[in-house]
């Protein structure tokens, strides 16, 4: 709920009140929320090791759904705003910096998060919760990094990377 309040207070620009803006904020909230939930759940497994691994596995499935939703939205935003990424563009932060932000968003916010979520899923299935918790900590860093990069581009230029 704090994430929603933060995004609502942070995103009071005209492009915020669109369907894409609403989906952007909700998808970011869901992605960050499920990642933090899984990390907290991983800690609970360390204290109560006899718990079923099912909630962590279901959390992984939800994370993948939210990640695909976020990647689809980002891909659509890049397609719709391709003029930001054309060589010589002066839109946004300029051609090169736009690509730097987009590539960091894709590699860290999607690639690293997706790969690590697979590892945490496999570790949860093996009931190696201590290792899974370490991976989930790293996932929280990458989801924050990716959403921060995306948030900058969205709130400065209205492009929901």
Q: Against a cut of 0.85, is the pTM above it?
A: no
Report, as an integer, the average pLDDT of 74-81: 86
**pLDDT single digits (tens) 28-67:** 889 999 999 999 988 888 888 788 889 999 999 999 999 9
CB neighbourhood size of 125 (10 A): 13
Contact by Cβ (8 Å): 139, 113: yes
Helix (H, G, I), strand (E, B) or coil at 102: helix
């Amino acid at each position: 709920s704090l994430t929603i309040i933060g995004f609502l207070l942070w995103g009071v620009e005209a492009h915020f009140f669109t369907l894409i803006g609403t989906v952007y904020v909700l998808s970011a909230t869901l992605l960050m929320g499920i990642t933090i939930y899984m990390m907290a759940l991983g800690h609970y497994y360390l204290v109560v090791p006899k718990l079923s691994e099912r909630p962590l596995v279901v959390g992984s499935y939800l994370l993948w759904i939210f990640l695909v939703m976020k990647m689809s939205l980002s891909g659509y935003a890049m397609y719709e705003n391709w003029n930001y990424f054309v060589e010589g563009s002066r839109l946004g932060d300029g051609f090169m910096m736009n690509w730097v932000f987009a590539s960091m968003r894709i590699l860290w916010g999607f690639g690293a998060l997706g790969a690590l979520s697979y590892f945490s899923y496999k570790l949860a299935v093996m009931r190696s919760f201590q290792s899974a918790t370490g991976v989930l900590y790293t996932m929280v860093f990458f989801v924050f990094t990716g959403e921060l990069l995306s948030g900058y581009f969205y709130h400065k230029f209205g492009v929901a990377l």
